[in-house]
Structure 1
Amino acid sequence: MTYTDAVKSGFRLINSKWQLVVIQVGMMIANFIGFLVIVGIPLGIAFIVFGLDLTGLAQARDIMELLRHPSELLSKYMGLALLVLVSFLLYILAITTAGLFVFAGAIGTIGRSVYDPARKFSMKLFFDEARKIFFPLMWFSLLMGLVFIVIAFFLGLLGGGVAAIVQGARSQDSTLALFLGIFFSLLLALLAISVILGAIAVTVYGVAILFFKA
């Protein structure tokens, strides 16, 4: 089987499981409703309980001037800020958990179809696979998240070092500084693309292993 045949087979397999698209759309709608419930309702309650008055903010002539002093704004609306922050964190936790659960179910469903292409989709199969793969997927996602953070930190250090080198060269020769700036920028871009693509490839490979080793 060639790579082209493998890609075509993959598309045919995924298209045959169109129910997964419906589940994804349903999750997006649930996320929107969840935002209104988890963040919107507490925000509305905050206006009533804390007696928050945003009239002054609405009548501010210079919004940029107001944003230059965020400490004053936060001290005035501290209750609202804390409530919104806690609600938003709960919302992020909820949609992340739901997203991982749905993704785990999709992985399991597609994986089972690889073993048995004639097997039809069912919600029982979806939830069974989601429950089985959810926790391994969660730990793997945390691991890959840490990997991406380390990559970002490493690239940030390289960028800072390059900026220092270019700044030092600028004091000696502007032409040399321009050359070094372009050279290191292209080098960093190539390195970043290579590392990120490598991390994505490892992520995809790891997701496949989660099913076949489960």
Structure 2
Amino acid sequence: MSKFCLTFDTDWCPQKHIDFVINLLNKKNLKATFFPTNNFPVIEYEHAEIGIHPDLEYNSENEIKKRIEELLTHYHSYTPTGVRVHRLYNSAPLNMYFSEFGLKYQSNYTTYLASTPPFIGLYNMKEFPIYFMDYFLHHFNETTPKYKTMDTLFHKGSDIKVMCFHPTYIYINTHNMDFLQKNKVTHGINNTYYGMQDFFKEFISTLSQNDTCCPKELL
């Protein structure tokens, strides 16, 4: 059976969205990695690893370094070793900056449900490719049967599968991009269609703590 890295990009979501996800995880003591984008989220979960999720697009070198340093300073008690950049933005200079700040891994490379083992990239940064992202469902405006075949799709093999979720997508149970754009600020909840909260609950119901891990454990 595969090992799953459950990862969460907080973006600018409200605290209650994060708390909602933690409550779901806590019911089964599942390990998880949170990538905060700013300084306000409080991650209180004993099975959590904390990385950083800075918004670095279009910034100058000084601004990029300042933003990385701000997040690392704010979350220093968690000793972050990983980074996933907002919008998955990446470049050779960024890898150099991450290495200079002592970060050990990133998770930006994204596949479409294709198992790709972790690999060493530039500046000795380990890359943990994203196997599944909740955005896949929204981008294609569908919930196809292949996402519901948990055993054959997600549990086949013995590899590492990095799952990327957004707390807001789960909280409002978004089922397509139109709904997400209209409700991510107002926090209207979808109670009609099969959405991301339904999918997430169904998926984690198949897992035990031993089925989950954090990238930091695999360095």
TM-score (norm: length of structure 1): 0.23
The higher radius of gyration belongs to: 1
Query: TM-score, normalised on structure 2?
Result: 0.22
Higher strand fraction: Structure 1 or Structure 2? 2
